[in-house]
Structure 1
Amino acid sequence: MPYALIGLCDVTLVLIAGKLIFNVPIKGNLFCIYLAASFFILTCLGIGLFISSVSHTQSQAIFDHAFYTSAGFYIVRIHVPNRKYASILY
């Protein structure tokens, strides 16, 4: 729970910095922004807790996290270049 509160404080600092330093307008309901941020933060904390409970050593936790992250990259196809831009890349 403390890490979730730290994450929400980070969201607040980013919103304030965006408004004051970069003049980014905050559009939308702040409750919805914080609700989405809370969902994201709790999901990330849950994944970290799951990986740490499955792993026995720190190196195994690092490998498990890399495996979990790379599986997500394959699902959303980030690593595959778009065919439209193939002529530019090659």
Structure 2
Amino acid sequence: KIKSHLTTHKLSHSDERPFKCPICPKAFQKKYCLVVHKISHSDERPFKCPICPKAFQRKCHLMMHKISHSDERPFKCPYCPVAFKIKVTLDDSQAISQ
């Protein structure tokens, strides 16, 4: 097990990408990344929203979607009364304003 961790760590210092997608030209340093990538070539959407009919290929996309069902806007602009559901929207707004 330690040897496999060392091998994985060594790959992080190189451009070597031994795990190649059989469907497209992409290649990955880690097998897990290839496994996750392969889902993008399928219609599989295992992460289902409990509130609406939408489903997603990745759990992180479902988590972002769930925010759309909330009225909470915790990210407040320091320059005006506007508030946002997600931080990246606040950051984008501030970049445009400045």
Q: Which has the larger radius of gyration?
A: 2
TM-score w.r.t. the length of structure 1 is 0.28
Name the structure where strand makes up a greater proportion of residues. 2
Between 1 and 2, higher relative CO (CA 8 Å, sep ≥ 6) is seen in 1
Structure richer in helix, relative to its length? 1
